[in-house]
């Protein structure tokens, strides 16, 4: 059987046995639409497209240059944070973690301090839960449901019974340094330090390899200032509450 195809110009000619070329359609995209000029920028014009994108995570305040300071809490591995400071700062971090969509589980010997926060957070959804000591079970953290575990258990926190899991971070709050403080600090991936006594500053300085200027500054920090540090990096952060945080928690304070 002969094919009817176009042979150059005009109508198809009978007897032309060359196969008719098939129109190529991109599966799932439909037919091509009208053409438009491409959007092209010169290298000099790229600066106009600058977008304030930094590390993702929980906004914890501003650094000394008044740039946003972000704490990357949730990772594909477990992450341990120790805060030597007041419950106010720990509660701000918990509230802001919940605001990102994470669940917050608080294991505490002071449930009266955390119950109002749990009731106010999440608009009635149980995004913040409060647990007695030793009653916190597995949280089932995942990439779509990260979890922050807050351990407010005094200056000598017992070892956690929870297994380390991906997308689950632990914030251990120390109101001051206890006898096992060196062990707790050494095991942390990140340490936050608010105002401490000079003797505590010396111990923290040795564990974190802080310079003399930082060690001298720790006993003089304001209630809203925290030094966040790892072995190789450190940053002072000022945490200012938003209107709703101020209404719920009050102004920044170091001593509870």
> Is residue 4 scored above 70 in pLDDT?
no
Question: Is pLDDT of 238 > 70?
Answer: yes
Q: Do 85 and 192 touch, CB atoms closer than 8 A? A: yes
Tokens read off for 149: 């575990």
pLDDT at 25: 45
% of residues, the chain, pLDDT over 70: 77
User: 105-129, pLDDT tens digit by residue?
Assistant: 999 999 999 999 999 886 667 899 9
Residue 164 has a pLDDT of: 87
> Of 19-28, 147-156, 220-229, which gets the smallest average pLDDT?
19-28
pLDDT digits (tens, 9 = 90+) for 201-236: 999 999 999 999 999 999 999 999 999 998 889 999
Cβ atoms of residues 254 and 223 within 8 Å: yes
- What ranges do the domains of the chain cover? 63-136+143-249
Q: How far apart are CA 159 and CA 162, in angstroms?
A: 9
The conformation of residue 100, written as its DSSP 8-state character, comes to T
The more confidently predicted of residues 232 and 197 is 197
**Mean pLDDT score of the chain, rounded to an integer?**
84
pTM: 0.77
Question: Which is it for strands 225-229 and 190-193: parallel, antiparallel or unpaired?
Answer: antiparallel
Backbone dihedral angles phi then psi of residue 9, each to the nearest 5 degrees: -130, 160
pLDDT value at residue 241:
95
CA 249, 252, 253, 254 torsion-angle sign: positive
- What are the E-state strand segments in 94-142? 103-108, 128-131
Report the range of poorest mean pLDDT among 10-19, 68-77, 83-92, 183-192.
Answer: 10-19
Q: Which CATH number fits domain 63-136+143-249: 3.40.50.300, 3.40.50.360, 3.30.1300.10, 3.40.50.920?
A: 3.40.50.300
């Amino acid at each position: 059987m002969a094919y009817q195809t176009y042979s150059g110009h005009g109508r198809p000619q009978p007897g032309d046995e060359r196969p008719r070329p098939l129109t190529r359609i991109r599966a799932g995209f439909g037919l091509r639409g009208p053409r438009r000029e491409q959007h092209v920028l010169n290298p000099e014009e790229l600066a106009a497209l600058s977008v304030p994108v930094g590390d993702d995570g929980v906004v914890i305040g501003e650094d000394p240059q008044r740039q946003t300071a972000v704490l990357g809490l949730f990772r594909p591995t477990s992450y341990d944070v120790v805060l030597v400071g007041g419950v106010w700062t720990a509660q701000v971090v918990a509230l802001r973690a919940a605001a990102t969509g994470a669940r917050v589980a608080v294991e505490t010997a002071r449930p009266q301090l955390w119950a109002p926060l749990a009731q106010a957070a999440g608009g009635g959804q149980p995004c913040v839960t409060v647990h007695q000591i030793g009653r916190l079970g597995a949280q089932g953290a995942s990439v779509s449901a990260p979890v922050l575990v807050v351990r407010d258990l005094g200056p000598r926190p017992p070892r956690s019974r929870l297994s380390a899991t991906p997308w689950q971070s632990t914030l251990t709050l120390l109101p001051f340094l206890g006898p096992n403080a060196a062990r707790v600090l050494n095991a942390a991936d990140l340490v936050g330090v608010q105002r401490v006594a000079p003797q505590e500053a010396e111990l923290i300085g040795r564990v974190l390899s802080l310079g003399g200027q930082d060690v001298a500054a720790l006993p003089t920090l304001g209630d809203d200032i925290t030094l966040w540090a790892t072995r190789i990096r450190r940053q002072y952060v000022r945490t200012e509450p938003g209107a709703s945080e101020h209404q719920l928690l009050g102004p920044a304070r170091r001593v509870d």
